[in-house]
Amino acid sequence: MTAQQPTQLSPLARFDNILVATDQSKYSAAAVAVAIAMSAKSGARLHPFAMVLTNPEYEALAPELVQKAAEETRAHLEGVVASARGQGVVAEPLLVSGSVPEDEIVEAASERNADVIVMGQQGRRRLARMMVGHATVRVIGSAKCSVLAVPEGAKMWERRILLGTDGSRFGDAAAVTAAKVAHCCSVPITVLSALVPSHSEKRQQEGRDAVERTVTQLRAQGVQAEGAAIPGEADDIILKCAAETRADLIVLGTHGRTGFGKVMLGSVCERVLGKTTCPVLVVRA
């Protein structure tokens, strides 16, 4: 029996709780600003998260330094909360101690029932692969919710969303979230599928069909949408189309038909993250 294609987008996407991870560096400043603006637009509760990097040995050797770091981090969080409340956003700060930031971020997001984690593409340690921070990649691969990666200097979107889809359920999940964001922020969507040359004609036709179906569904929900299916490698096509349409938010699914499991080195998602200058929302199906 052939599975029926869905005739409408799921209403389950929501932004009630947003967790923003900050390390007080310039790499997370834009993430904080976007998270506050996003919370103000959607009416979400914001959870500013910061971490004191430490371990039992370090605490025993230099307790005064750990205390100083905690005080500085707490003051930083208080500043984020003040900025959020100044824009009418309800904010609840979260300060933790630990040695592995990505694990603590994922755990905190789970405990706070976060619908999305917002973070910079890099961090203080700059353990970068293709200019994407190690912690960011790990969080995207491990989190149970969507992750918004915000490059240094990026701003809240106001022009257009570029939605990448390949017809998989992960692409459909990304479409659901993109529709929510479009309604919330009053921006149009360009739905894009890359017709990868190495793929079969059947696979490429699935991409064309996914674009047509998604555009139809979005328009039925009152979203201004247009579609394109363009030959080329997926990451190149996504980046080129984002530039040509002046999109200032890219929305992608965590997985595609390749089924790569976690976000890994060389994946389309990571390559896009490493090269774009606008925020990328990676949606968990």
Amino acid at 32: V
Higher pLDDT, 59 or 141: 141
119 and 21 in one domain?
A: yes
- Does pLDDT of 233 surpass 50? yes
Q: If you average pLDDT over residues 218-241, what whole number do you get? A: 96
| Other CB atoms within 10 A of residue 92 CB | 13
Specify if 10 maps to a domain: no
Domain identity same for 131 and 219 = no
Q: Percent of the chain, pLDDT > 70?
A: 87
Domain containing 187 equals 161-283
- The verdict on 43 and 86 lying in the same domain is yes
pLDDT at 255: 61
Please spell the DSSP secondary structure of 5-23, one letter per residue.
Answer: PPSS--S----SEEEEE--
Model confidence band, residue 264 (pLDDT cutoffs 50, 70, 90): very low
**Cα atoms in the Cβ-side hemisphere of radius 13 Å centred on 258:** 16
Give tens-digit pLDDT for 42-54: 999 999 999 998 8
Give residue 269's pLDDT: 84
Please check whether residue 125 lies inside any domain of the structure.
Answer: yes
Please check whether residue 265 lies inside any domain of the structure.
yes
Residues 133 and 61 reside in one and the same domain: yes
Burial class (CB in 10 A: 0-12, 13-18, 19+), 61: exposed
Q: Are residues 129 and 31 in the same domain?
A: yes
220 and 139 in a single domain? The answer is no
208 lies in the same domain as 118: no
Residue owning tokens 């910079």: 120
Determine which of 144-148, 168-172, 194-198 has the lowest per-residue pLDDT on average: 168-172
As a whole-number percent, the residues of the chain with pLDDT over 90 amount to: 66
- Most confident segment among 53-62, 194-203, 251-260: 194-203
Average pLDDT over residues 23-35: 92
Q: Are residues 271 and 176 in the same domain?
A: yes
Is residue 231's pLDDT more than 70? yes
Same domain as 135, residue 38? yes
Decide if 156 is inside a domain.
Answer: no
- For residue 38, CA distances in Å to 84, 151, 283 come to 10, 15, 16
Boundary of a domain, candidates 130, 150, 170: 150
- CA 7 to CA 4: how far, in whole Å? 9
**What distance, in Å, lies between the first and last C-alpha atoms of the chain?**
24
Cβ distance 31 to 156 under 8 Å?
no
Can you say whether residue 211 is alpha, beta or left, with left for phi > 0 and alpha for psi between -120 and 50 degrees?
Answer: alpha
Residue pair 156/40 in contact by the 8 Å Cβ criterion = no
- The answer to whether 117 and 147 are in contact (CB under 8 A) is yes
Whichever domain contains 87, its CATH number is: 3.40.50.620
pLDDT at residue number 78: 97
Instruction: Please determine, for residue 200, whether its predicted confidence score (pLDDT) is greater than 80.
Output: yes
Number of domains, the chain: 2
Q: Which residue has the higher pLDDT, 137 or 183?
A: 183
Confidence of residue 27 (pLDDT cuts 50, 70, 90): confident
For 114-166, the pLDDT digits (tens) are 999 999 986 444 433 334 567 888 898 889 999 999 999 999 999 999 999 98
| Shared-domain flag, residues 275 and 165 | yes
Q: What is the pTM of this model?
A: 0.87
- Both 23 and 104 in one domain: the answer is yes
* Amino acid in the structure at residue 83: S
